[in-house]
Structure 1
Amino acid sequence: MSEPPLTDWIGARETCEETIAEFPAQAAAAMLDSDPAAMRSGAPLPALWHWFYFLPRAPRSAIDTDGHPKRGGFFPPVTLPRRMFAGARTTFHEPIIVGDAATREGEIVDVKEKSGRSGKLVFVTVRYHISQGGVLRVEEEQDIVYKEPGPPIRDPEPLPAQPDAPPGARVRDITPDSVLLFRFSALTFNAHRIHYDLPYAREEEGYPGLVVHGPLTAVLLAGLAEEHTARRISRFVFQGRGPLFVQHPFRLVAEPAGDTVSLRADGPDGVIALQATAELAPAGGRQQA
């Protein structure tokens, strides 16, 4: 019998329930050099920190050679070997509160097969709703991309110096190390080997070094957007455009303009690796613990 078409997974649903415990948020704060004690019960989660909850719990016997769970289940069984979290559109209706029970409802809303310069591609879009106390807190669409293996990627060639930041921009330089990647992998229960297994990253997936998680870069950008304002993020959109690597410095840039902050992560070669936009809630919209 032939395999069912991948589009048959459109409409697939799953529901997860979890208490937003203190430890993941406190561990994330420690990883990011914030105050873990601030993430006590009753505190609002910073933007995108819901990614440290509702994690897949695939047993070891169900893990594929790349470290991801084997294909199938809620997500369609795409056979293309490379997969990545390519982007998301997240609306924060209300903050998620640490210590309270929460429900996440997921639905596969689109599956598209395409061919591009890098070969065959499959785009899977999943929509999540996260609620607490019957109130919708977060609505998110994630884009998961599956693709064929490509040619090896070279080390980025660093610029002699990073260009000056635009007037009024906030800038932070990051030199990622393997400890940061390990902690983020642990917090997200992400065993994809490109983030910790250097021989695998080089020999199997063709990267020059360990790869920085795209969601980690997005979390760092969201934190930079929130750092200098009393207003919380009401919507965050990001798209990955290229990889970043351990021990290769990259630059976070935030350009505020009224209710919007334009964000990007520039690689050491000056090429944008991840681009994002944060929209800010009205003044006074940040919920206090």
Structure 2
Amino acid sequence: MERQPEESRPMSITDEQIAAYADWIGRETEATCVVAPESADLMAATLDRDDPAYAPGDPLPPMWSWMAFRPHARRSQLGPDGHPARGGFLPPVALPRRMFGGARFRYLAPLPVGEEIRRVSRIAGVEGKRGGSGVMVVVTVAQTYWVGGVARVEEEQDIIYREAAAPGNAPGAAPPAPPPEKPIPQTPWRAVWTPDTMTLFRYSALTFNAHRIHFDRPYAEGEEGYPGLVVHGPLTATLLAELCRDRAGRPLSAWSFRARAPLFDTGPITLTGTPTETGATLGAYDARGQLALSAEATFAD
């Protein structure tokens, strides 16, 4: 889960503004790209895998599509945090923090390396919520990936916009007390990964993600008040998908994940998985045993 710096935007928004964002529902955009074999090899290297060199026509592993359709925002179109300016396809939600909430995938067939892929994106929903933590707006984007006129992958992702951080969580404030430590579940599938600056930088480069919280430590800690560099939510989800691929050895027909708390490069991350009748349940835990990201896998027959 990622947050943007507190910019000079309203601390909150009105119900009328939230209702106006609903006008974006139904908007579509499409793009085409080719995932080159070299790009797949670079992702394997970033994940420290021993995969054979990828060739045209090879199936792209689940979640590796995150390095496809990279944003093309020019340098002059980036904000001080590295995110592209708001507006355009996504509604210009006037809340200062943007977080990736999670995603749901349905795999009809693998995406191929080295062949043209067409992605059609549509704003599927805009929902405003008010609660004890303040106002949030959830924008759901539905995407379909096509190859040769045949749908291969269907995806929904949730982008969450929230109010500015409470004073106790703002940069320069005393850090809140950490949550109590919990035992990490003992599961049949288990791996420990310690994030490092090289992996975070490489993943940012592969996905063309200029958000500075992932690779600029003085900015992440001094400007946004984080305890360290923030691990990309999709990177954590990719590592869980890789755990599933290595341990189950079966292709996925569905995959979903939900970000629950941010992860940092301040300690090891434990990846867990438990097989079920139809797939597996998975989780990523920080060093204190807090669940930061949960995932569900369904295997193809």
Q: Same fold (TM over 0.5)?
A: yes
The answer to whether 1:50 aligns with 2:69 is no
Cα distance in 1 between the residues matched to 2:279 and 2:211:
33
CA contact (8 A) 2:227 2:266 kept: no
Cα distance in 2 between the residues matched to 1:154 and 1:29:
37
SS in 2 for 1:38: coil
Q: Which amino acid aligns with 1:80?
A: L
Residue 86 of structure 1, CA deviation: 1.0
Deviation sequence 1:12-42 (CA, Å, 0-9, x none): 1001011221122111001111235432212
SS in 1 for 2:234: helix
SS in 1 for 2:112: coil
- Alpha-carbon distance change, 78 to 42 in structure 1, aligned in 2, over 3 angstroms: same
Deviation sequence 1:234-274 (CA, Å, 0-9, x none): 10010000011113111000101222110000111111000
CA contact (8 A) 1:48 1:219 kept: yes
The answer to whether 1:165 aligns with 2:157 is no
Instruction: Identify the residue that residue 146 of structure 2 maps to in structure 1.
Output: 131
| 1:110-259 correspondence to structure 2 within 5 Å | 110-151=125-166, 152=169, 154=176, 159=181, 163=184, 165-166=186-187, 169-259=188-278
The answer to whether 1:27 aligns with 2:48 is no
Cα distance in 2 between the residues matched to 1:215 and 1:192:
13
Instruction: Identify the residue that residue 88 of structure 1 maps to in structure 2.
Output: 103
Cα distance in 1 between the residues matched to 2:209 and 2:177:
24
- Alpha-carbon distance change, 71 to 164 in structure 1, aligned in 2, over 3 angstroms: closer
Deviation sequence 1:113-161 (CA, Å, 0-9, x none): 22233322111000000011111110000000111221426585795x9
Q: Which amino acid aligns with 2:70?
A: L
Q: Which amino acid aligns with 1:68?
A: H
SS in 1 for 2:224: coil
- Give 4+ residue runs of structure 1 displaced > 4 Å after superposition: 153-159, 161-164
Question: What TM-score do you get using the length of structure 2 for normalisation?
Answer: 0.87
Residue 206 of structure 1, CA deviation: 2.3
Cα distance in 2 between the residues matched to 1:144 and 1:164:
29
Cα distance in 1 between the residues matched to 2:114 and 2:67:
14
Match of 1:39 among 37, 47, 54: 54
- Equivalenced residues, count: 278
- Alpha-carbon distance change, 121 to 44 in structure 1, aligned in 2, over 3 angstroms: same
SS in 2 for 1:228: helix
Q: Which amino acid aligns with 1:165?
A: Q
Instruction: Identify the residue that residue 264 of structure 1 maps to in structure 2.
Output: 283
Instruction: Identify the residue that residue 97 of structure 1 maps to in structure 2.
Output: 112
- Alpha-carbon distance change, 156 to 47 in structure 1, aligned in 2, over 3 angstroms: farther
Q: Which amino acid aligns with 1:41?
A: P
Q: Which amino acid aligns with 2:210?
A: A
Give the stretch that moved more between structures: 116-125 or 133-142: 116-125
| 1:63-74 correspondence to structure 2 within 5 Å | 63-74=78-89
Cα distance in 2 between the residues matched to 1:188 and 1:116:
34
Cα distance in 2 between the residues matched to 1:164 and 1:123:
31
Instruction: Identify the residue that residue 285 of structure 1 maps to in structure 2.
Output: none
Deviation sequence 1:157-191 (CA, Å, 0-9, x none): 795x954613xx11000110111110111111111
CA contact (8 A) 2:184 2:285 kept: no
Match of 2:92 among 77, 91, 110: 77
Give the stretch that moved more between structures: 17-26 or 82-91: 17-26
Q: Which amino acid aligns with 2:186?
A: A
Q: Which amino acid aligns with 1:100?
A: E
Q: For structure 1, list consecutive stretches of 5 or more residues without a partner in the other structure.
A: 283-289
Q: Which amino acid aligns with 1:190?
A: N
Cα distance in 1 between the residues matched to 2:224 and 2:22:
27
CA contact (8 A) 1:130 1:137 kept: yes
